[in-house]
Amino acid sequence: MLRLSYILVVAVVAILETARAHTVITYPGWRGNNLHANGTLPEDNPDSHGIDYLENGTYAYPWGMQWMYPCGGMPQTTNRTYWPVSGGALSVQPGWFPGHSKALFYVNIGIQLEGQAAPPNMSHPVVPAFQITGPDNNEYPGQFCLPQIGMPANVSLQVGQNITLQVVEAAQHGAALYSCVDLTLVANNDPRIEEVTPQNCYNSSDIGFNLVFTTQSLTSTGKTSGSSRMVAPTMLGILALAFVAMGGALL
């Protein structure tokens, strides 16, 4: 017999899912809707591993699918998106869940080598980690867009190769939400690449950015002994350059 709490959860989830029937990685696409939380409530299920394997062969995610490494509970897809071999745009909606007035973002790629069915890891960062600030800790709309992510200099990627782009959003308490999109790399001017426009690639005015970096290299100046700090919000691109210049000057 279904308990009342379970029925209530199902009803609430159904309502939330209707309200959230949108994407999180809005460009260049995503594996699919993983904004689901279902199953027995966490407070009623002390034995939960985070993913519950049910007797009838289905799964439940009492904490939510997006917490599952590496891709928020979604297996690799075959409806891949074409993306430039030298890197392209990424648009993300960060505010689907409460608690994201601040969040850390990591963007990585997993590289599938010839003969591999899937990438062996998601261990290639493609932008320095950065922090976003949102309007408040409730769910909020809006997105940010990095118009040109570069590819790591020390990996060689070929036209036709499959990679997976992974976006990690760490909430203020440190837990991380995962989403991915599966890509096939094509020539930078390939017409199959969805055009990057002000409609699909923009920054909402109430989402800000902070660059995050360690101050290990700064200790030689005697300026700080903290392990890390945030710098004032400004253009990530400029900061990325400053970061490189600073590392070069102070190392």
Ligand X SMILES: *[C@@H]1O[C@H](CO)[C@@H](O)[C@H](O)[C@H]1NC(C)=O
What is the rounded CA–CA span in Å between residue 193 and residue 37?
33
Which of 154, 156, 220, 225 binds ligand X (CB under 6 A)? It is: 154
Q: Which residue is nearest to ligand X (CB)?
A: 29
Q: How far is the CB of 49 from ligand X (least distance, A)?
A: 15
For residue 205, state whether it binds ligand X (rule: CB under 6 A).
Answer: no
Smaller CB separation from ligand X, 120 or 226: 120
For residue 160, state whether it binds ligand X (rule: CB under 6 A).
Answer: yes
What torsion, rounded to 10 degrees, do the Cα atoms 63, 67, 69, 71 define?
110
Nearest to 169 by CA among 80, 38, 75, 69: 69
Which of 144, 164, 166, 177 binds ligand X (CB under 6 A)? It is: 144
Q: How far is the CB of 177 from ligand X (least distance, A)?
A: 15
Q: Please calculate the CA angle 29-33-36 and round it to the nearest 5 degrees.
A: 150
Count the Cβ atoms, other than its own, within 10 Å of residue 117.
Answer: 7
What is the rounded CA–CA span in Å between residue 75 and residue 117?
12
Q: How far is the CB of 133 from ligand X (least distance, A)?
A: 11
Residues 6+ apart with CB under 8 A from 197: none
**Percentage helix, strand, coil for the chain under 3-state DSSP, each rounded to 5:** 15, 25, 60
Q: Return the residues of window 34-53 that contact ligand X according to CB under 6 A.
A: 36, 38-39
Q: Return the residues of window 61-90 that contact ligand X according to CB under 6 A.
A: 61, 77-81
Q: How far is the CB of 163 from ligand X (least distance, A)?
A: 9
Site string for ligand X, 118-137 (x = CB under 6 A): -xxx-x--------------
Structure tokens that stand for 247 in this block: 């590392």
Q: Which residues of this chain interact with ligand X, rule CB under 6 A?
A: 29-30, 32-33, 36, 38-39, 54, 56, 58-61, 77-81, 111-113, 119-121, 123, 144-147, 152, 154-155, 160-162, 181, 184, 201-203, 209, 235-237
